[in-house]
Amino acid sequence: MIAVELLKLVRRPRSWVSIALLCGLPIVVAIFVAVTHVAPPPGQGPALLSAVLSNGSLFPAAALAIVLPIFLPIAVAVMAGDSIAGEASSGMLRYLLARPVGRTRLLIAKLIALVAYVLLAVVLVALTSYLTGRLLFGNSPVAVTPTGITTTNVVANTLSGTGLTPEQVILRTAGAVAFIAVSMLGVGAIALFLSTITDSSLGAALGAIAALIASGVLVALNASAAVSPYLPTRYWLAWLDFFRQPILWRDIDRGFEIQGVYVLVFLAAAWANFASKDITS
């Protein structure tokens, strides 16, 4: 069943269209920045972008920062929201279960396909933007950005301080990719759970996105500081700490932990709901 789900993933045009869009947006940004040489002022616009002009190998990280707030979670929520609800609304769910595919097995296969999709998306974004960055921007190891606001500090700290070797940049980008993939799995788990509740994949995807937006609002609100450490988007940007010197592990670790909890809780809820549910679609 796992092989079947992976096959369905790669044979579905939607998977590739969404990944192409994810890879396309950073390329468009890169072209504009490279042509005009107008990077957003430090501290505004996507993180790290101002540093990219001088060092193209930082562009994968900048590209991830571009797709992370909206594009990537939407793509993941749509795929995960569609996983069970899509089968239900197309009518295939009853035929799969009557084949028989055990309900737990089906859920696991869907989860593995989802993990594969998330990894594929994040890694392809990193790879295409690495190529774009190397092609369009320079490779000088020195940073230029003046210090000022948090994100620039991040950049300035690493690059103006000790400077990173190309290997270090790649390694740290890989760390960021892993962190973002796990964060996206948190989104996916929420959407997968909703997908077992409703027969509408749109509903499940929008529900997960609504949860993220709500979390984003609360994280930004001082009044809700008491709950913010437990919200799913609280540590989403912690991967920027990979680009500090030395790496600030505290928020990264917290981020991994909180996403792990979200993934476990929502997968357990999805399983409990799906295994005991009447399939009437």
Partner 1 sequence: MIVTRELTKRFGHVLAVDHVDLEVREGDRYGFLGPNGSGKTTVVRMLLGLVYATSGQIEVLGRPVPSKISQVLPQIGSLIEAPAAYGHLSGRANLLLIDAAGPHRGGRARSRRVDEALDRVGLGGIDSRAVKKYSLGMRQRLGLAAALLRAPRLLILDEPTNGLDPQGIREIRDLLAELNAAGTTVFLSSHQLAEVEQLCTRVGVLDHGRLVLQDDLDALRGLTGRVIVRSPDADRAAALLDGRVAHRDADRLVITEADPAAVNAELVSAGLRVTEVSAERRSLEELVLSVTSSGSDRIDGPRFGQGARRHQPGPAAAGAVPTEPGLADPVRPGPVLADPVRVDPAADEEA
The residues of the shown chain that bind partner 1, judged by CB under 8 A, are: 1, 3-4, 7-8, 11-13, 90-92, 94-102, 276, 278-280
Distance of closest approach, residue 257 Cβ to partner 1, in angstroms: 36
Return the structure tokens found at 266: 């929502």
Nearer to partner 1, 93 or 182 (CB): 93
Nearer to partner 1, 106 or 126 (CB): 106
Angle at Cα 64 formed by Cα 59 and Cα 66, nearest 5°?
A: 90
| Cα–Cα distance for residue pair 239/72, rounded to 1 Å | 15
Long-range contacts: 209-216, Cβ < 8 Å, 24+?
A: 209/73, 209/74, 209/77, 212/73, 212/77, 212/187
Nearer to partner 1, 167 or 278 (CB): 278
Nearer to partner 1, 135 or 272 (CB): 272
Distance of closest approach, residue 5 Cβ to partner 1, in angstroms: 9
| Cα–Cα distance for residue pair 196/1, rounded to 1 Å | 18
Nearer to partner 1, 86 or 232 (CB): 86
Determine contact, residues 156/50, Cβ cutoff 8 Å: no
| DSSP classification of residue 40 | P
- φ, ψ for residue 33, nearest 5 deg: -65, -40
Angle at Cα 137 formed by Cα 139 and Cα 28, nearest 5°?
A: 150
Bond preceding residue 73 cis, omega within 30 of 0 = no
Nearer to partner 1, 37 or 100 (CB): 100
Distance of closest approach, residue 101 Cβ to partner 1, in angstroms: 5
Distance of closest approach, residue 81 Cβ to partner 1, in angstroms: 18
Nearer to partner 1, 20 or 220 (CB): 20
- φ, ψ for residue 139, nearest 5 deg: -130, 35
Rg (CA), the chain: 20
| Cα–Cα distance for residue pair 139/27, rounded to 1 Å | 17
Length of the chain: 281
Cα 106 to the chain's mean position, in Å?
24
Nearer to partner 1, 95 or 230 (CB): 95
Distance of closest approach, residue 4 Cβ to partner 1, in angstroms: 5
Beta bridge mates, 139: 55
Distance of closest approach, residue 84 Cβ to partner 1, in angstroms: 14
Distance of closest approach, residue 273 Cβ to partner 1, in angstroms: 13
Distance of closest approach, residue 255 Cβ to partner 1, in angstroms: 36
